[in-house]
Chains A and B, each alone.
Chain A
Amino acid sequence: MNSSTLLGITTFTYLFSTLLYVAVIVFKAQKIGKIATIFTAVAWLIQTAGILLRWSESYQMGIGHAPLTNMYESVVFFSWTLIILYLIIEIKFKTKVIGAFTLPFAFLAMAYASFSTDISKTINPLIPALQSNWLISHVVTCFIGYASFAVAAALGIMYLIKQQGKAGQEDHAESSLHLPPLTVLDSIIHSTMVFGFIWLSAGIITGAIWANSAWGTYWSWDPKETWSLITWFFYAITLHARYTRGWNGAPIAFLAIFGFLSVLFTYYGVNFLLSGLHSYGSS
């Protein structure tokens, strides 16, 4: 058993979890809900094992480093963070339905990491610039942020769908099998965006400190840095619009979705469409 096998299994279990959560919505059966949660938790544990195993494999190869240093590893970590955040929300808000919207993000990330030809899965030694503990803090903080923004976007989509459907019918009895009320969704969207914002701030800061220890410049306006700042501005604007202008509901749901597009561009688009310092991290 090696880490690739475990992470491959994870990819398919996340797909299956997605289907289970969709089944929860379709059949509204308590039992399926329970199964979906257990299944997702197990998939997450398998993924955890896969990540840890990959870590130990790198030590066996004599180039030991935390599995957070290239595109493949960071995408795997992204889906791992996404799922743990989702499970916390599921427990805290006692609702299963959000799973049908968040699990696809984790599955797509894993599928992309596993099957895309752009991404190399081999464990490579680190070039000198990447040998820094700040790199690890940078990746961890950024990806906790990105994962929270993904959850916020998933909830944003859910909010808009629910709002569309609401025109005709009234809420059924509240239960974990139905979409949570719009006000609850709105407040979870806000909380996840705030949470993501704090981690993104920390991610930009750790990145700046790392750059300063490696090159003597904490900010050089390279495209990746600039895009992370644009994303940061975007969420700052969103939080201000909500807090000081009283925006909520659908506009915020839209902003949560657009914000995540900015995150995707920062992480993915910049590597492939623009050039810069970070491009060595892309393969």
Chain B
Amino acid sequence: MTLLKQIWNFFASVKLAIFTLCSLAITSIIGTIIPQGESASFYSSQYGAKAAEFMQILDIPDMYYSWWFLLLLAMLSINLLVCSIERFPRVWKIIQSDNLAIPTERITKMAIGNKWQIAADKIHLFNPKELFDTIGMVPTSKDTTNGTLYFSQKGKYSRTGVYLVHLSILIIFAGAIIGSVLGFKGSVMIPELQSTSKFFSSKDPSSINLDFEVRCDQFIIEFYDNGMPKEYQSTLTILENGKEILTKDIEVNSPLTYKGITFYQSSYQGYQDFIFSLTDKKTGQSHQVILPFQKQQEWQEHDVRFGVVNAEALGQRVTRAKLWLKNGQTPAVLTWLDDNQPSVISTENNSYEVVVKQMYATGLQVAKDPGVYIVYLGCGLMLLGLYLAFFLSHRRVWLLHEQSGDSHSFLLGANTNKNKIAFKKMLTKMDNYFDNLS
């Protein structure tokens, strides 16, 4: 045996599969007990310098991406591939085989068998279609030297189920590799009204530059009556060369995708500043500015000055703000406004629609993963394969009809790759058919 052949046989063995799967299961436990991705100092303070050094050597702090864990996964893949190449042709041959070409002796040796006799004067009553109909199958037939051979089968493709499952694992791995090579993951905090094209990579300290910009137009949190957050929502606009391309509201579980890059709502941060919007009721013109707490600002063209002089908050969240607004030389207006609720303020010679809203930054996850649909395809194939492998079986029935003198004999041979008992039980329905004939 050549060395190549030996290596091939090593990877074709199911023992290796069981060994690799056991190794993966056992080593995976380590990473669930020892926290992953912490700083080097964390490990030495938690486990002592010696142990920490040992862990660094074995890549324990990042064990699911360590060389030895990836090696185990690679072994599993090669094992799956070689094992399937080794076995699939045999299975395909069974699926494709001409079952009517079977030698007669084989029928007598099948796992399930039976025999019936019919007198020659009753043979005109025999109808193979009706007989096979009792077990829900349709026969094909072929004339033999002294009779007829009937054959019928069901679920031959269920034999491919296991291979689909195994292939699906390889497809999922391929998708994961494509995603990690061609894709990226990052995050960013964008304050309201600002835009960026630069994101922080989550793998390393570098930054990711996109060829378009994302602007956060607005961030809103809604709360339940008991104070729990109900929804985080950001209005995002995509800008290319300063031109607005599209605007979409995103929420947790409902991201925005542009050019294969997806933006997920992940967190937020509240500021002590306010976003102040003002519409002059007379002219209909409006103005929006960022208004720091207790700083006066002005809208020069309209001669209005304003500022937030006080605010009430629940934790980090502002519920009400006290607005000071002065229009020309008329007396100033001082009033409490609920956060983000439009109200009308009237001075002596004008009135304004105003909104005071606490300013937030929206926290976004950014991901590009061109492999994800390949992974999903693999997942779908896996479920399909499991269904074929476990719920369907390949059932085959042969019936040899021969005449010997005054009587006709019927020889049944059948087999199945699964659930023999149920199949055997079903085949007893053929007994009834023959009973009724004679």
Contacts and interface: CB of A to CB of B under 8 A. Distances in A.
Given A63-B224, A217-B367, A218-B372, A233 B264 contact: no
B336 interface: no
Interface residues of A, number: 43
A197 B253 contact: no
A128 B231 contact: yes
A64 B232 CA distance: 18
Nearest to A133: B253
B83 to A, nearest CB: 10
B31 interface: yes
A227 B387 CA distance: 24
A132 interface: yes
A198 B31 contact: no
Contacts of B22: 233, 237
Contacts of B383: 198, 201-202, 205
Contacts of A263: none
Contacts of B230: 125, 128
Contacts of A240: 14, 17-18, 21
A236 interface: yes
B264 A214 contact: yes
B29 interface: yes
Contact of B28 (A127, A219, A226, A237): A226
Interface string B1-45: 000000000000010011001101100110111011000000000
Nearest to B367: A216
A128 B372 contact: no
Given A205-B379, A218-B372, A274-B32, A198 B390 contact: yes
Nearest to B29: A230
Task: Provide the main secondary structure of the chain A interface.
Answer: helix
Contacts of A237: 18, 21-22, 25
Given A125-B230, A194-B390, A234-B25, A216 B255 contact: yes
A174 B382 CA distance: 40
Interface in B365-409: 365-367, 369, 372, 375-376, 379, 382-383, 386-387, 390
Interface in B254-293: 254-255, 262, 264-266
A216 B264 contact: yes
A63 B223 CA distance: 12
Interface string A262-279: 000000001000110000
A244 B176 CA distance: 29
Interface in A230-270: 230, 233-234, 236-237, 240-241, 244-245, 270
A195 B387 CA distance: 10
A221 B376 contact: no
A129 interface: yes
A212 B379 CA distance: 14
Contacts of B254: 213
Contact of A217 (B18, B31, B185): B185
Size band of the interface chain B makes with A: 35 or more
Contact of B228 (A127, A217, A244): A127
B229 interface: yes
Contacts of A216: 185, 255, 262, 264, 365-367, 369
Given A214-B264, A218-B375, A131 B253 contact: yes
Contacts of A212: 372
Interface string A189-200: 000001101100
Given A128-B232, A218-B375, A230-B28, A244 B367 contact: no
B332 interface: no
B111 interface: no
B14 A245 contact: yes
A208 B379 contact: yes
B210 interface: no
B386 A226 contact: no
A124 interface: yes
A226 B379 contact: no
Interface in B165-181: 176
Nearest to A202: B383
Contact of A132 (B253, B264, B365, B386): B253
B28 A128 contact: no
A214 B17 CA distance: 34
A53 interface: no
B64 interface: yes
Contacts of B231: 128, 131
Contacts of A229: 28
Contacts of A41: none
Residue among A124, A129, A275 with max Cβ neighbours from chain B (10 Å): A129
B226 interface: yes
A226 B232 CA distance: 29
B249 interface: no
A17 B336 CA distance: 63
B344 interface: no
A251 B64 CA distance: 31
A230 B376 CA distance: 20
Given A213-B253, A216-B366, 14 more contacts: A124-B228, A125-B226, A128-B229, A128-B252, A129-B252, A132-B253, A212-B372, A213-B255, A216-B185, A227-B32, A230-B28, A233-B28, A241-B18, A270-B32
Top 6 nearest A-B pairs (CB, nearest first) are A216-B367, A128-B252, A223-B32, A233-B25, A244-B14, A205-B379
Interface of A: 63, 124-125, 127-129, 131-132, 134, 194-195, 197-198, 201-202, 205, 208-209, 212-219, 221, 223, 226-227, 229-230, 233-234, 236-237, 240-241, 244-245, 270, 274-275
